[in-house]
Structure 1
Amino acid sequence: MLKKIERGQQFVWQHQDLFRCPICFSPMSEQPRGLKCQSNHQFDVSKKGTLYFLTHAIDSDYDAELFHARGRMIRSGMYRPVIERIAKELADTRVLDVGCGEGSFLSLLTEQGTPSVSIGFDIAKEGVYQASSQPNGDFWCTADLTNLPFTNGAFEAVLNLFSPSNYQEFARILSPGGKVIKLIPNANYLKELRQGFYPDDLHKQTYSNERVLAKFFQEFPDASHERFSYVFTIPKERQRDLLEMSPLEWNATESKKEELYQHPLKKITIDLDLLIGTKGMK
């Protein structure tokens, strides 16, 4: 059985044409420990089988416990209807997951959607290291959304699930006819959790995605738009994970956190907009 580093090296050697140097933007080629560009900038595969492409360290507020909790909630079936829908778009495609976190979304999607190549990246190294333990053959790297280490037209689908966008970079790395698949919260998303953490703050209890929607349709006027709204029954063993899986708790008072820890939610509202935009053929 291959070690993670060996699997990672085999992947980048087999798919070196998908990568470009984030420093000088030249093509990459195989070298004994990973990839090297024409200007001799070298990127070695880590022991965890990942690549690190950041040109300078970037702090992330997302820690290991948040990623663990997030992964367990995703695996619990919290987003199953949405995942099943997105998977239909990914069969036999080269897929990039933008802001993959600990990799649970991409891992579940590749199980169902059978893409030909699947790569996830995040700016948080801790999330990428956790992603390297996902059970599928996806590849993971640490990279910057504003300077993606991939060649022009490398992918046929970009997953943009609960993560920031860079439509200029998306257009560059997508092949003609490629898709941007974006998932964003709607007004009632996790409303019970918002109300529990911030019962006296109506501003924090509400959320509007109108600006994000408007920007997406500015980029993709003919995009499709589907809403997923349902109530998810939280497995008892996952009820505390819900409280720890997102930044919602960061500014809550200790008393409100403790109250929810002692009396966790049993059901939660999922309210999401799924947007699919297609790059022109020219």
Structure 2
Amino acid sequence: MPVTAFSALACPLDNAPLVREGMSWRCGNGHCFDIASQGYANLLPVQLKRSRDPGDSKEMVAARRRFLNAGHYQPIADAVSRLTLDGLTENAACLDAGSGEGYYLRRLAAIAEQQGQSLTVLGLDISKWAVLAAAKQDKRPTWVVGSNARLPVLDGRLDRLLCLFGFPVYVEFARVLRPGGQLIQVDAGPEHLAELRAIIYPTLKAERPAKLDTPAGFQPIDSESLRFGFTLHGQEPIADLLAMTPHLFRASAEGKARLAALIELALTADVRLTRYARTG
């Protein structure tokens, strides 16, 4: 099978190599992390958490799962897969840093198998609910609860690292990528979901584009924009979209009520995909 689990994990407490023993990951210093029956491990110790239950809630994860599995963002997933697989060698290692419920990695795995490309795959998210949902849907990757601020990955072991609508920590990304390894980053463009924002906010503000400065330890390869339209039919898909975005917490009660009254909503997806190569 071309897509297999990733094994070059590091202990989140001392960065020592983790070795799988049965249903646990253990390091040489005696730290042990159990693998849940659903197939994931929690590599975010309580002393590294900033809150009791960080990341997306169970409800937000369920909304994102329904929305993404309906295929609305498949053009984004296919573009990410194309860039990720471009120029890869056999048995390349890939991490999705902020993998959510695993949609983009599942699409990458499907396209890799179609092309006969072998991958070792790791999905990481700070939300235990997201990682649980991902592990239930696909057993092939390694799934872990963890933080981008302290990736539980050994130095220089990755060929590709994905950061999709996430929170990049470039120092950590540079540490875990091999020299010449690539970071694929996806950010919202200025018109992304503009129609949704026009409904829930009294004054529409353009999305602020992410900074284009090249991060330390990287050099730019290329950047491309992707824009397409899609339509949501029914109140539940519209509510799911709101629930999976930061707008859920920013919109007023009046804005949410206007959105909840709709039974159809035409939208624009506008994203920028950028590739960087790890220098050194």
Which TM-score bucket, shorter chain as reference? 0.7 to 0.9
> What letter matches 2:208 in structure 1?
S
**How many angstroms apart in 2 are the aligned matches of 1:210 and 1:184?**
7
Larger proportion of strand = 2
Q: CA deviation at 1:167?
A: 1.1
1:197–1:249 CA contact under 8 A, matched in 2: no
Paired residues, what number? 263
User: Cα RMSD over matched residues?
Assistant: 2.1
Deviation of 1:149 (Å): 0.9
Q: Could you tell me which amino acid in structure 2 is paired with residue 180 of structure 1?
A: L
Q: 1:132 and 1:42, CA in 2 relative to 1: closer, same or farther beyond 3 A?
A: same
User: Is 1:19–2:4 an aligned residue pair?
Assistant: no
Say if 2:206 is the partner of 1:206.
Answer: yes
Aligned 8 A contact 1:88 1:113 in 2: no
The residue number in structure 2 matching 1:47 is: 37
Q: 1:246 to 1:167 in 2, by over 3 A?
A: same
Shift of 1:219: 5.2
Shift of 1:70: 1.3
In the superposition, relative to structure 1, how do residues 110 and 136 fare at CA in structure 2: closer, same or farther (>3 Å)?
farther
Shift of 1:44: 1.1
Please report how far the alpha carbon of residue 190 of structure 1 lies from its aligned counterpart in structure 2 after TM superposition: 0.6
Q: Does residue 155 of structure 1 match 2:154?
A: no
Partner of 1:3: none
How do 1:131-210 and structure 2 match up within 5 A?
131-135=134-138, 137-198=140-201, 200-202=202-204, 205-210=205-210
CA contact (8 A) 2:187 2:210 kept: no
Q: Deviations over 1:24-80 (max 9, x none)?
A: 111222323322111011111112211111122443252112111112222222222
5+ residue gaps in structure 2? none
Aligned to 1:100: 99
Gaps of 5+ in 1: 1-10
Distance, in Å, in 2 between the alignment partners of 1:258 and 1:222 is 43
* Stretches of 4+ aligned residues off by more than 4 angstroms: none
The normalised TM-score by structure 2 is: 0.86
CA displacement, residues 194-235 of structure 1 (integer Å, 9 cap, x when unaligned): 11110x234xx3211142x2255x654432100001211224
CA contact (8 A) 2:223 2:275 kept: yes
- Whichever residue aligns with residue 28 of structure 2, its letter is Q
Pairing 1:253-268 to 2, within 5 Å after superposition: 253-268=252-267
Q: Which residue of 2 aligns with 1:4?
A: none
Q: Aligned equivalents of 1:98 and 1:24: distance in 2?
A: 20
Aligned match of 1:73 in 57, 63, 67? 67
> How many angstroms does 1:159 deviate by?
0.6
